Amino acid sequence: MAQVGSAGPGACGRRGAGAARRTTWRWAPALLWLATAAAVAGDPSRRQWPVPYKRFSFRPEPDPYCQAKYTFCPTGSPIPVMKDDDVIEVFRLQAPVWEFKYGDLLGHLKIMHDAIGFRSTLTEKNYTMEWYELFQLGNCTFPHLRPEMNAPFWCNQGAACFFEGIDDSHWKENGTLVLVATISEVSCALKNETKKLAEHGFLF
Ligand SMILES: *[C@@H]1O[C@H](CO)[C@@H](O)[C@H](O)[C@H]1NC(C)=O
Ligand SMILES: *[C@@H]1O[C@H](CO)[C@@H](O)[C@H](O)[C@H]1NC(C)=O
Ligand SMILES: *[C@@H]1O[C@H](CO)[C@@H](O)[C@H](O)[C@H]1NC(C)=O
Ligand SMILES: *[C@@H]1O[C@H](CO)[C@@H](O)[C@H](O)[C@H]1NC(C)=O
């Protein structure tokens, strides 16, 4: 088990006084929104390929046409308050896409689904954060042709789902469950990570 990325003391330069106060940080529910690659309809002079990446500072309302067959993130929970002196273990999780349906088949083609696991050393609780499609893989990959629209239409929004627990056997059996880092100085590291995540489109 590799152990990388342990944050050294004083990384944020505020150990001592800051730590003594034992401030807790609420890492507000983070949601990542997939930029919907909306096809530019109509005007051919505006057509461009690949469709330019579009950033949103909020989650666009999904088109009512898109109806999820399975509830998104049914057991989702908010990201818990983590104490300054906690040590968080971070796991890399990987399993074949659609394992529940095709077993290891897509794994042989290296079509994998990735997630991140966290474990608090203080509470011994663990958590999974996955990013996936709101309207299932097929709808995320293939567009719909709608008679009332002259361009292909995608139901391709995705989001991050955070929930309590790590299903060890699911990740281990045909995939990966490996400790990749331990984070001490939690509040400091989270401040930094929060900033980075915000820059990458997570919302807090
Ligand atoms: C794909 O989207 C259509 C249109 O919203 C919906 O009827 C269908 O249930 C979706 N498919 C899945 C597997 O969710
Ligand atoms: C792992 O792959 C095998 C072979 O495809 C399959 O039978 C099994 O159900 C898979 N494991 C899990 C946890 O889905
Ligand atoms: C996560 O917690 C469950 C329940 O305590 C435990 O069975 C499992 O082994 C833990 N997994 C990891 C990777 O910590
Ligand atoms: C936080 O960011 C600062 C400045 O970018 C860096 O020096 C420090 O090592 C980082 N600390 C952690 C714990 O990531």
Which pLDDT tens digit goes with each residue over 136-177? 888 888 999 999 998 899 998 888 888 999 999 999 988 899
Atom of ligand 3 nearest to the CA of 89: 14
Per the structure block, which two tokens stand in for 82? 């983590």
Atom of ligand 2 nearest to the CA of 103: 5
Average pLDDT, the chain: 72
pLDDT of residue 23: 31
pLDDT of residue 60: 82
Atom of ligand 4 nearest to the CA of 193: 14
The pLDDT of residue 40 is above 50: no
Q: Which ligand is nearest to the CA of 170?
A: 2
Record the pTM.
0.66
pLDDT of residue 12: 47
pLDDT of residue 188: 66
In this structure, the residues whose C-beta lies within 6 A of any atom of ligand 1 are 65-69, 135-136, 138-139, 155
Ligand 3 lined by 115 (C-beta under 6 Å): no
| 63: nearest Cα among 160, 148, 162, 161 | 148
The pLDDT of residue 6 is above 50: no
Site to substitute for ligand 1 among 36, 63, 65, 67, most atoms within 8 A of C-beta: 67
Atom of ligand 1 nearest to the CA of 135: 14
pLDDT of residue 121: 93
Contacts of 74 by beta carbon, 8 Å cutoff, 6+ apart = none
pLDDT of residue 1: 32
Q: What is the DSSP string of 125-181?
A: -EEEEEEEESSHHHHHHSPBP-TT-SS-B----EEEEEEE---HHHHHHHSEEEEEE
> Which residue's C-alpha comes closest to atom 10 of ligand 2?
103
pLDDT of residue 65: 94
For ligand 1, the distance from its centroid to the CA atom of residue 64, given in whole angstroms, is: 11
Q: What angle do CA 6, 9, 14 make, to 5 degrees?
A: 130
More confident residue, 194 or 130: 130
pLDDT bucket at 124, cuts 50 / 70 / 90:
very high
pLDDT of residue 159: 84
Distance of CA 18 to the CA centre of its chain: 30
For ligand 2, the distance from its centroid to the CA atom of residue 174, given in whole angstroms, is: 6
pLDDT of residue 10: 36
For ligand 1, the distance from its centroid to the CA atom of residue 138, given in whole angstroms, is: 8
pLDDT bucket at 57, cuts 50 / 70 / 90:
confident
pLDDT of residue 113: 87
More confident residue, 68 or 54: 68
pLDDT of residue 97: 80
Distance CA 204, CA 185 (A): 21
For ligand 2, the distance from its centroid to the CA atom of residue 178, given in whole angstroms, is: 19
Site to substitute for ligand 1 among 36, 63, 69, most atoms within 8 A of C-beta: 69
pLDDT tens by residue, 63-122: 999 998 888 889 988 888 778 788 889 999 998 886 666 666 666 776 788 899 999 999
